[in-house]
Structure 1
Amino acid sequence: MCGIVGYVGCKQATPVLINTLKKLEYRGYDSAGIAVMNDDEILVRKAKGALRVLTEDITKEVVRLNDKMTGEECDAREAELIAATDKFVKGTIGIGHTRWATHGEPSDINAHPHTNVSGTIAIVHNGIIENYAKLKEQLQAQGIVFKSQTDTEVIAHLVNFFYEQTNDIFEAVKLALKKLEGSYALGVICKDYPDRIIAARKDSPLIVGLGKNENFIASDVPAVLEYTREVYYLDQKELAVVYSDHVDLFTEDGEKIIKEPSHIEWDMAAAKKGGYAHFMLKEIYEQPKALKDTLHPHLVFNGDKAVDIKFDEMDFSSIFENVDRIIITACGTAYHAGVAARYIFEQLTRVPVVVDVASEFRYKNPIISNKDVVIIISQSGETADTLAALRLAKEAGAKVIAITNVVGSTVSREADRVIYTLAGPEIAVASTKAYTTQLMCLYLLALKMAAARNTVSQKDFEYYLEQLELIPDQVEQILKDQSNTQKFASENFNKNKVFYIGRLIDSASSLESALKLKEVSYMHSEAFAAGELKHGPIALIDKETLVVALATQKALYEKINSNVQEVKTRGASTLVICQGDEQVFVKGESADTIIKIPQIEDIFAAITAIIPAQLFAYYCSVLRGIDPDKPKNLAKSVTVE
């Protein structure tokens, strides 16, 4: 997601801030900005778009400097650069930010840093402030005029509120943090304290880099590796006061902390993995946060209870009226999310759903009317076949809703409406968190549509929202105890054939599970609706076969258990992934291994059921000596046919 950097030292801050922000571009962003302490004022420069837009706005010389010169050459040219242009933001302390839009569209105004009204306090923020609307209302009642649509600007004004009371910037930040609900990594500078940066974190990562007569803050290690390999990892709710010659660490209550810095041994590529062996594993473990980030901005609360769903300022009511049919089209993993969505939409909205692979949809002369709603799903927002399907649907007069992970992508620009999966950048080729956040968006959209069409009662609607809120924590619970999955992979990673079976929405999960395994381990894997086994595939079952049954639909436990017993009696090894309440599957009788996921309403189990399958694919890949991040012949974004 967003990237935060900060510098305090003896060098000019601007080139350092730009350089460190470049190292965080992989995180994904739609705008960038810096704030630099310049004598008795804070100068802010920010711009929508790529980082180069910001650097070109500041000075073309800085662009050339950072693109072509080493650190020593930068130092040698600093005086020349400063003399060359009055647009260069001068000063030796500053903060920077690359933003991935959550609250408010990508724009110059919504870009960070944000300031208080007088411009004497500037902040950068990564995370989501869940109670920002309430805080904003309170601040507006005191006469504060907001410039942006962001949740972050609330923090700047809140810090200023407490600063006016305490006249102490550290105390002001500390008091403001106690009012915030949600996640944050913060960098704060104040005109009256021109020698320090205040940093703090909760849920969002933040480090402090320790240099010689200079120190740094950053969202991730790669930003500072060019300057230092000594860092403090800020723990939950810790604060840091960063000076050029030392750093003080504190608890949320202001008690001083003494800790030893960590020495970074990783190379640049490994550092970006955050200590995980592979990006795929890192991204699997990022799913609880990604799901929470995707879900929470869309929930409307009455007290602590979610009572409605919102999609920012987008009006979906005109789309939901007079809908005859929903068409979902996508490719690969996104297509599998669409297959799952067919069950979700038909059950909740009672509208018929057609799901097509985008590369087929565009060539089959599809029947489309202006009463159809077409949902386009693309992680990158640039998938060629999916874009072609989108354009075809619009030409036919259908309303198009896009679900994508990339702000400003072609899909997001051309669709009538767009919903973003706030998964952050996904570097591993095989999608994991993209898939689960796509499902989360589809659940939200289906529920909103069901409410608009009165196909679910308000009571059931609010119950379903409660169930959705459980999912991120349930995924985290699965990830905390996945020893059974790892053990099962160690016993079965050399199987010649792997079949995934399931019924109803589990059959969609089976498709994605089989794809994940073949992508990263090169094991032959296929997926079938469980009832289809006897119509052909069972002929392939032998002792070299592994059958994985996804069984989360309570009414069909007995049916899927019969299918598992059928393959087991023919020599197959068997794994069952089921909800924690089941009593049907017996280890040793029908299943060799049973992995139980937390209990949830059946229709919402598609997200939690896929987590063990993702882990199984990852461990099989590693055990077979394959790099799961870079499977052969595959690319992250497919922009050609």
Structure 2
Amino acid sequence: MCGIVGYIGTQAATDILISGLERLEYRGYDSAGIATVEEGQVNCVKAKGKLFNLREKLEHTINHAQIGIGHTRWATHGKPEEHNAHPHLNTDRRLAVVQNGIIENYLELKEELISKKIEFRSETDTEVIPHLITQFLTDSNSLMTAIQKTIARLEGAFAIAVVHADNPYELIVARQQAPLVLGFGQGEFFCASDMTAILPHTRTILNLENGEIARLTPLGVEIYDFEGARMSRFPRTLDWNPVQVEKQGFRHYMLKEIYEQPAVVRTCLDTYINPNWHADENPDYSPVNLGLTPNLTDNLEHIQVLACGTSWHAALIGKYLLEQVAGIPTTVDYASEFRYSPKPIISNTLTIGVTQSGETADTIAALESERARRADLEPKFQAKLLAITNRAESSIAQICDRIIDTHAGIEIGVAATKTFVAQTMGFYFLSLDLAYRRQSVPNYKIGEIIAGLRHIPSQIETILDTQADAIEELAHDFTTEIEDFIFIGRGINFPIALEGALKLKEISYIHAEAYPAGEMKHGPIALLDNKVPVVAVAMPGSVYDKVISNAQEAKARDARLIGVTTAMNATEAAHTFDDILTVPEVDELISPILAVVPLQMLSYHIAAIKGLDVDQPRNLAKSVTVE
């Protein structure tokens, strides 16, 4: 969601803040602003809309300030207008605050401050913070003390950064349930919502943990807990390179990330598959090295998976694999719903949270509530928490017993592509590991699945090499008059229909829905005519004939049919489909990873031809860090 950047050091702060905010644009935002401290004054500039509007305002100003904070806002409280943009100032405009998250008791605090004759300039929850800090500064000259007292009054999830004209050599930040990372340079220090914002300047970082507050000065960084006790923490060095967050010649980040998928799958295979494992040797160790301990894997009776958005679609594929390969009953819930309608407690349950960023508020809250409600029960009922995430240093890693790191690298495009494939790979590895431990399928079958997975990278490359031009050509047919799409699939590929529909909605703004193919005749078929294209995921296997039959029902209603199938089946499928997107021959169990790629490409090209902002679709955020 919102993005925070802060800087204190020897360089001019403005350019560092703006470039950092540009690297956070992928999170989604509707306004932006910066505040710097120079010559005893806070200079605050804000603008509605994209960052170029803020740049234009700053273009003719000279600002040598060496300390400042910046923010990109995704509206929660108050419309996306300039007066609601961050930073927010106190009454005398000498103190500035930026915040991510939601202050749940802000109305109560606002009424209290209004009763003290404080005037508010915005409709945001954030504005209570600078006014509260100012109130506590009247009792103490210590900015740190005033902020600690303010934090004690706040309820909700937040990350904040504060600068003050009377304290021009300190930048204070705090975290509670919203991500915040510190960066360490040579005589300069940074803070940001995401390390991507500061990668060009440093690779030495430290993630603040919940309940921590940090004081950044030109001399160093001090970290305290909210009660004021000094903390001993040590930064780490990233092996990421700033080049990873560049487009590298691609028109959009999303397209680049689609083309990175073969490399992502190879990395996953190299990381987790034991190269010396051979099914015919009856090995006494798992083919997959996830580092899972027996207390997480032994005697499992039930698995429940919690996720949102694209991660939920990966989880649905995971459910199929965990049940059909590992033989464990599995449920998948939206994390936002699970908290308020948790499942009956079953013994020996593994709970898996799936989140690309590791910061998705609903998923983290659901996992925490699950641990809390099982905390006082006997051991077999206590929570076993596992996370599948792309950020090993994220919040979810702190609350789970173990994580499966998807190793997808930085994903800038808001619409998930390579991270979806990486999460799906995580479920393949987990199901194979559990299948071996439980001996739910014979070793030779596990070996066949692994062999199939090893072919996936080159097969994705084949799709990208042979189908890209045809998919772009097809996309031109759907950029003007088409307002609705329907996607259908069955079995393990129904989630791919869901993902295809979501990608199209997210970036092209064309309404799209997905249904199990067999459900079309139970209602949705009423929607069909020659203006509603139908995309059918028809991969050879147990449900292929059924999907073809369902597609023909749509064809009889004049719908234009687009099929996703293998090249070997393309000739036969041509009797049913008007257009065919082909993938290499693949076993049905592994086919989702290939079937999704043409749908990613189709959505991308439709949106790009329409001239839309593919990487930053309207109203969306990459990491949803508020509920």
TM above 0.5, yes or no, is yes
Shift of 1:379: 0.6
Give the letter for the 1:279 counterpart.
Y
Choose from 228, 244, 248 the match for 1:274: 248
Which deviates more from structure 2 when the two are superposed, residues 606-615 or residues 395-404? 395-404
CA contact (8 A) 2:491 2:543 kept: no
Distance in 2 of aligned mates of 1:296 and 1:602: 23
Amino acid of the residue matched to residue 639 of structure 1?
T
Give me the TM-score of the superposition, normalised by structure 1: 0.59
Once the two structures are aligned, what percentage of the paired residues are identical? 36
Question: Could you tell me which of 332, 345, 354 is aligned with 1:377?
Answer: 354
State the Cα deviation string for residues 428-479 of structure 1 (Å, max 9, x = none): 1111111000000110011000000001212221221111111111111111
> What CA deviation, in whole Å up to 9, does each residue of 1:485-523 have, x standing for no partner?
112211223422100001101111111110000000000
**Matching residue within 402, 423, 427 for 1:438:** 423
Which structure has the higher relative contact order (CA within 8 Å, separation 6+)?
2
Match of 1:626 in 2: 612
Which 10-residue stretch deviates more, 511-520 or 458-467? 458-467
CA apart distance, 1:60: 4.7
Alignment of 1:280-319 (within 5 A): 280-302=254-276, 308-311=286-289, 314-319=291-296
CA distance in 2, matches of 1:425, 1:401: 21
Equivalent in the alignment of 2:438:
453
Counterpart position of 1:593: 579
- The CA RMSD over aligned residues, in Å, is 3.5
**Do structure 1's residue 489 and structure 2's residue 463 form an aligned pair?**
no
1:305–1:345 CA distance, 2 compared to 1 (3 A): closer
1:178-212 per-residue CA deviation (whole Å, 9 max, x = no partner) reads: xxxxxxxxxxxxxxxxxxxxxxxxxxxxxxxxxxx
1:425 pairs, out of 397, 403, 410, with: 410
Partner deviation per Cα, 1:391-419 (whole Å, 9 max, x = no partner): 12222222111011112111111011101
* 1:521 correspondence with 2:508: yes
Could you say if the C-alpha distance between residues 624 and 636 of structure 1 is closer, same or farther in structure 2, counting changes exceeding 3 Å? Answer: same
* 2:562 counterpart SS class: strand
Secondary structure of 1:602's counterpart equals coil
C-alpha displacement of 1:368: 2.6
What CA distance in whole angstroms lies between the structure 1 residues aligned with 2:441 and 2:190?
57
Task: Verify the 8 A CA contact 1:329 1:375 in the aligned structure 2.
Answer: yes
Shift of 1:275: 1.1
Counterpart pick for 1:352 among 314, 323, 329:
329
Shift of residue 303, structure 1, vs aligned partner: 8.5
Deviations 1:320-372, CA, capped at 9 Å, x for gaps? 21111110110000001111111111110111111111111110132133411
Return 5+ residue gaps in structure 2 as ranges: 1-10, 25-178, 192-196, 202-217, 221-232, 375-381
**What is aligned with 1:506?**
493
Aligned partner (choices 597, 601, 605) of residue 615 of structure 1: 601
Indicate yes or no: 2:555 matched with 1:568.
yes
Q: Distance in 1 between matches of 2:180 and 2:307?
A: 27
Letter in 2 for 1:479: L
Residue number in structure 2 paired with 1:552: 539
The equivalent residue for 2:517 is: 530
| 1:220 to partner: Cα distance | 2.8
Match of 2:302 among 325, 332, 337: 325
Deviations 1:611-638 (A, max 9, x none): 0000000011112221111111111110
Which of 384, 387, 390 is 1:402 aligned to?
Answer: 387
1:221 to partner: Cα distance: 9.5
The 3-state SS of whatever aligns with 1:59 is coil
CA distance in 2: counterparts of 1:506 and 1:414, whole angstroms: 32
**CA distance in 2 between partners of 1:495 and 1:61 (Å):** 50
Distance 2:369 2:422 in 1: 26
| Whole-angstrom distance in 2 between the partners of 1:385 and 1:321 | 28
Tell me the secondary structure at the aligned position of residue 533 of structure 2.
strand
8 Å CA contact 2:279–2:444 kept in 1: the answer is no
Which residue of the partner structure matches residue 390 of structure 1? Answer: 367
Using the alignment, how far apart are the partners of 1:62 and 1:445 within structure 2? 37
Structure 1 unaligned blocks of 5 or more? 1-13, 28-48, 72-84, 88-106, 113-124, 127-217, 223-271
Query: Residue 439 of structure 2 aligns to which amino acid in structure 1?
Result: N
1:289/1:472 contact within 8 Å kept? yes
Displacement, 1:317?
Answer: 2.6
Residue type of the alignment partner of 1:288: P
Q: Which amino acid aligns with 1:411?
A: I
For the residue of structure 1 that corresponds to 2:352, the secondary structure is strand
Q: Report deviation, 1:557.
A: 1.9
Q: Distance in 1 between matches of 2:268 and 2:516?
A: 30
Which letter does structure 2 place at the counterpart of 1:552?
Answer: M
Q: Given the alignment, which residue of 440, 447, 452 partners 1:467?
A: 452
Which residue in the other structure is 1:59 paired with? Answer: 187
Deviation, structure 1 residue 584: 7.4
**Distance across 2 between alignment mates of 1:371 and 1:284:** 38
Please give the alpha-carbon distance, in whole angstroms, between the structure 2 residues aligned to 1:86 and 1:503: 60
Counterpart of 2:270, as a letter, is H
* Equivalent position of 1:40 in the other structure: none
2:588 is matched with 602
The aligned runs of 1:34-73 (5 Å cut-off) are 53-55=183-185, 58-60=186-188
Please tell me the residue identity of whatever aligns with 2:328.
Answer: V
Asked if structure 2 preserves the Cα contact closer than 8 Å seen for 1:489 and 1:620, the reply is yes
Change (3 A) 1:51 1:541: closer
- 2:304, 2:350 within 8 Å by CA — same for their partners in 1? yes
Contact 1:369 1:398 in 2 (8 A): no
Distance 1:62 1:273, change over 3 A: closer
1:606 shift after superposition: 0.8
1:150-193 per-position Cα deviation (integer Å, ceiling 9, x unaligned)? xxxxxxxxxxxxxxxxxxxxxxxxxxxxxxxxxxxxxxxxxxxx
Q: 1:220 aligns with which of 243, 246, 251?
A: 243
Instruction: Quote the offset at 1:24 in angstroms.
Output: 13
